[in-house]
Structure 1
Amino acid sequence: MDHLRELRSRIVKAVLAIVVGIIVALVFYDEILNFLAHPYDQIRPDLEAKGIDTTLAITGVGGALQFQLKIGLIVGLIGTCPLWLWQLWAFVLPALHRNEKRWALLLTGVGAPLFLAGAALAYIVLPKAILVLIGFVPSGWESIVTGKDYLDFVVRMMLVFGVAAEIPLVVVLLNRLGIVSARQLVHARPWIVVGIFVFAAIATPTTDPLTMLFLAAPMTILYFVSEVIARLTDRRRGRRKADEAADDEASEL
């Protein structure tokens, strides 16, 4: 019952943090909306130069309210993730051993910045992706992009780039657990690089190779970095096994 009461308390605190985050996001709704629409505004002159009229629109009687609530919910969840994730972490923490705690903290400390870096890269690539996709509209036609579709596109791009940035973390974790060795990573390198480019081509919603390279190139570099880390880990593991074998040898006495 003590554990259940603690779980209830943690959940209540997490929900309250999310609610406060949503309220703050709604208060700063105009600033957040301008931030999200900035990539679209950047490419509008280029599209007009091609003879394509484009505009962001909200459809339906309650569309504006739904769109505002959706932005508040997404921003509130993302903005308060350190708080509600900490509540979940604090509930699980007492059940972990010291070594497990160290690794969990290390993975969290490395994984979060990698995800944020990937999401930031997606925001930089967004204008190019939008320009390519809307550029298929015939000249003289008007492109009406609904707020829902635009928000879904932005969130999808950031999620894809953020998850892709976690590649070195996954590879290092598999190597640390002994599932994959550095030698296996070297032998599988050509296939993994091809797989990365195939994933980038499928995950990015655009059809141009430039956007695919923006995702595939960092993923490939991060894979090479994780390969080097795995090689160093295997060497350290090999030296440790050699020392243990030396301790088991019979002494001269």
Structure 2
Amino acid sequence: MNLKLLKNFWQQVLDCRPSVSDWPIFLQGLFIAFMFGELFYDSLIAVLIISPVSLFWFVYQKRRQSERNRRIVGIQFRDAISSVLTCLKAGYSAENAFVEALHDMEMLYGKKSLICNALGKIKKGLKNNVPIEKLIYKMGKETGNPDIMDFAEVFAVAKKSGGNMTQIIGRTITVISQKMDVEKEIDVLISAKRMEARIMNLVPFFIIFYISLTSSVFFDPLYHNVFGIIFMTVCAGLYVTAYLMSERIVNINV
């Protein structure tokens, strides 16, 4: 079972596709390991033992980044299909409407934006005669956005049955907009609590660091002995558990 969990973890590391831009995340993880080793154990050996935590931190932060990208591409996709809707009303075919939407999104978000990258893949796929509905679904799968995948399925059914494309896309824009409004309301309601949670997560480190500077002998009974190591390990475990719980509470997905 442990080998299976380890295999899944390394698969997640590989799926994150580390790059040069990810070095700050690795450095953050190493800094966290250093803080835990020095403040909880006062030992460089403990820092070396805890240093693999940087890999867990990397995977966790990449997951959060992918969640942020999923939400960003959802917002941008709503604007893209609004452009598609305008083109369809002007008499464009569905394929040409998505190509035109790419130009609009380049002006709105820039050529390096997530939506332009996704629409660029759709444009290349259309040149290779790949059906537009398959390209849209692939876009949703690659970005991890279920709204795009749902839209692709409805779009495929409407295209085969000869449904009203403009009406379907208009309803899709309304549904996505309502969902985003709910997400924004939740963000506004818990933004203060999220900031409080971030501050409270740093408080234990500041307390230990402050006491270590002002009363260096205060923590001596907890360092370099079996009881102290066990006690501080339990404290570190409780802190990590509280951190994960706070992150789960203040990050609500709709």
User: If the TM-score is normalised by the length of the shorter chain, which range does it land in?
Assistant: 0.3 to 0.5
Could you tell me the TM-score, scaled by structure 1's length?
0.37
Work out which structure has the larger RCO, using CA pairs closer than 8 Å and 6 or more positions apart in sequence: 1
